[in-house]
């Protein structure tokens, strides 16, 4: 993908048509007297890089110059601006991105077979007013970069290795947008970019973070609840003891549980019992009466002494015939038989009545005891006090039991989390082995070797010194990308401190970006790079050799190189005369004569 055109609906803006092959120069000239308070660095060449970044669907906030700079009414000075960026896709089609400042969260996209004519926006928009995420996804599908397929990030992750601004020259690998963030935000991506499997490193960082979170969570639980997983069996024993105490207290309360009822209900219960007792007393009295009668009836046996009758007859000198004697004897025998049958029936009835009386007496005894207990409880205020004591004791025991069970729950959580940590530890160890295995066989990685060889060659061509890129496993078993060290070209090849200087770091960044583009040129990837102020503060020989290298690369590979430069930073010939770029290479000219010479056509 290359940049084709950049234009705006505001006539003051300097529209740009980029060279699709070779070099595109953003050239700034200082025309005013040096004593005037104007600065060639304020002409807009750096802002151009930021604008390109914005048009490639960067999400901005009020810190961005497009929103930050306001007029007297508090509105952005770019509120009415609509910008268009046309890019050449790797499949040969042209794609135009439209973004306004007033609706900076919306993006429209148009696909065309050819470049638009002049700076006239496309008449047809295939996608209109897309949100940030959807717009990026849509562009991703049209860019169709091989590198980003099956990756957890999109093209914007690498965009600033293609648009290097001043803050990005501080570190070859780590861009300014990654400063202040975590290593996981950029190191796995860099690992991918150098030809390795970034998922391995990403997994390591993710598991490290998970492990840190688990360890911190366990510490927090132990701190907040004053528990330790080694106390589990002791807590189990304490729970058992408290449960037994609670059960005992519940039993005591159950014995006094009637006090939970209304006192009037107890009194009604007494009345009911007394009524039952009265009825049973009546039944008991009647049974006792019947039993006495039956007992007396049994006692009154039929009595007739024939000898006494016979004696009376003799004393009266009366004749007592034998036949009469016989009749009396028979009558006596009859009465005896009759009495036996009657007594047998009376005894049976007596037994039944006695049994009924025993049952009644038992019931009476039970009811009288119950009545006495109720009367006793109604009279005994200490019982109520005991109930309250038992209830308080039970409440305390239940509270302590809840706390113990909560401690047990927390301990089980700690044990579960610790098990997770152990599982993660095994995964991390496996990942470390994989990373070390990768680190021990870097020579087998074809893409990494190509990038490293290109980097070393390009740097040598420009600086006439040796350097290389490398990485290692640090003490945390993560990857460190070592800053390239400049080597002397003598036999000893000693390290120098040149890489610590800003001008050297800038060249290292430029060379790195070129090596990445060339290494990925055989597949669908970015085909352009924008280096802001790349020649600033460089030695003249470095400038000449760098431009020669750029010309060689753009001629040999399908790469578009865009650079911004001010007149005073141009290389010079042997007579110290500036070596100007050809007119065909300059795509934008800026000057500080007046505000019309700036990128946006007005000062802000």
Task: Using a cut of 0.85, tell me whether the model's pTM lies above it.
Answer: no
Mean pLDDT to the nearest integer, 158-184: 93
Question: What confidence category does residue 322 fall into, taking pLDDT thresholds of 50, 70 and 90?
Answer: low
pLDDT, position 491: 47
- Amino acid 518: pLDDT: 97
- Average pLDDT on 247-264 reads 65
SS3 assignment for 174-230:
CCHHHCCCCHHHCHHHHHHHCCCCHHHHHHHHHHHHHHHHHHHHHHHHHHHHCCCHH
Helix or strand holding residue 234 (H, E): helix 232-255
572: left (phi over 0), alpha (psi -120 to 50) or beta: beta
Beta strand ranges found along 14-81 (DSSP E): 16-17, 22-29
> What mean pLDDT is predicted for residues 74-98?
95
Q: Is the pLDDT of residue 527 over 70?
A: yes
pLDDT for 117: 87
| pLDDT band at residue 581 under the 50/70/90 scheme | very high
- Per-residue pLDDT reduced to its tens digit, 178-204: 988 899 999 999 999 999 999 999 999
pLDDT band of residue 603 (cuts 50, 70, 90) is confident
Query: Residue written as tokens 């803050």?
Result: 167
**pLDDT of 381:** 53
Q: How would DSSP label each residue in 317-375?
A: T----HHHHHHHHHHHHHHHHHHHHHHHHHHHHHHHHHHHHHHHHHHHHHHHHHHHHHH
**CA torsion through residues 575, 577, 578, 579, sign:** negative
Residue 429 pLDDT exceeds 50: yes
- The mean predicted confidence, pLDDT, of the chain is 87
Cα 184 from Cα 208, distance rounded (Å): 10
pLDDT band for position 309 (50/70/90)? Answer: low
Which pLDDT does position 499 carry in this prediction? 47
């Amino acid at each position: 993908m290359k940049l084709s055109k950049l234009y705006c609906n505001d006539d003051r803006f300097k529209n740009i048509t980029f060279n699709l092959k070779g070099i595109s120069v953003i050239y700034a000239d200082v025309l005013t007297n040096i004593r005037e308070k104007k600065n060639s660095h304020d002409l807009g060449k750096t802002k151009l890089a930021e604008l390109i970044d914005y048009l490639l669907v960067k999400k901005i906030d009020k810190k961005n110059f497009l929103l930050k700079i306001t007029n007297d009414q508090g509105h952005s000075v770019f509120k009415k601006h609509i910008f268009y960026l046309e890019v050449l896709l790797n499949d040969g089609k042209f794609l135009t991105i439209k973004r306004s400042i007033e609706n900076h969260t919306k993006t429209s996209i148009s696909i065309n077979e050819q470049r638009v004519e002049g700076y006239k926006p496309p008449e047809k928009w295939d996608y209109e007013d897309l949100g940030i995420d959807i717009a990026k996804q849509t562009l991703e599908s049209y860019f169709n970069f091989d590198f980003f397929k099956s990756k957890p990030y999109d093209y914007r992750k690498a965009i600033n290795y293609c648009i290097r601004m001043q803050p990005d020259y501080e570190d070859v690998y780590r861009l300014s947008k990654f400063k202040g963030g975590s290593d996981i935000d950029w190191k796995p991506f860099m690992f991918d970019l150098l030809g390795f499997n970034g998922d391995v490193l990403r997994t390591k960082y993710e598991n490290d973070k998970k492990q840190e979170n688990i360890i911190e969570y366990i510490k927090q639980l132990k701190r907040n609840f004053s528990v330790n997983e080694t106390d589990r069996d002791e807590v189990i024993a304490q729970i058992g003891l408290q449960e037994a105490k609670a059960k005992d207290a519940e039993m005591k309360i159950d014995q006094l549980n009637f006090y939970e009822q209304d006192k009037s209900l107890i009194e009604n219960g007494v009345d009911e019992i007394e009524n039952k007792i009265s009825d049973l007393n009546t039944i008991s009295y009647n049974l006792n009466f019947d039993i006495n009668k039956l007992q007396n009836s049994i006692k009154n046996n039929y009595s007739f002494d024939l000898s006494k009758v016979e004696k009376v007859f003799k004393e009266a000198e009366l004749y007592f015939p034998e036949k009469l004697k016989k009749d009396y004897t028979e009558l006596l025998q009859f009465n005896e038989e009759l009495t036996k049958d009657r007594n047998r029936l009376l005894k049976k009835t007596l037994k039944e009545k006695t049994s009924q009386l025993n049952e009644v007496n038992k019931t009476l005894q039970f009811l009288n005891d119950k009545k006495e207990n109720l009367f006793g409880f109604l009279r005994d205020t200490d019982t109520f006090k005991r109930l309250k004591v038992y209830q308080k004791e039970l409440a305390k025991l239940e509270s302590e039991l809840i706390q113990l069970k909560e401690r047990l729950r927390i301990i089980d959580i700690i044990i579960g989390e610790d098990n997770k940590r152990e599982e993660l530890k095994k995964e991390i160890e496996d990942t470390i082995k994989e990373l070390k295995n990768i680190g021990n066989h870097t020579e087998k990685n074809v893409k990494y070797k190509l990038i490293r060889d290109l980097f070393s060659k390009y740097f040598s061509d420009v600086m006439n010194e040796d350097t290389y890129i490398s990485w290692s496993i640090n003490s945390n078993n993560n990857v460190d990308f070592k800053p390239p060290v400049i080597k002397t070209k003598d036999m000893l090849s000693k390290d120098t401190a040149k890489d610590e200087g800003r001008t050297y770091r800038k060249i290292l960044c430029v060379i790195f970006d070129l090596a990445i583009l060339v290494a990925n040129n055989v597949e669908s990837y970015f085909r352009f790079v924008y280096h802001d102020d790349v020649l600033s503060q460089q030695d003249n020989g470095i400038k000449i050799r760098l431009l020669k290298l750029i010309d060689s690369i753009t001629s040999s590979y399908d790469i578009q190189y865009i650079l911004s430069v001010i007149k005073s930073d141009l290389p010079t010939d042997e007579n110290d005369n500036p070596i100007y770029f050809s007119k065909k290479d300059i795509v934008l000219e800026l000057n500080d004569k007046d505000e019309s010479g700036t990128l946006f056509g007005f000062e802000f």
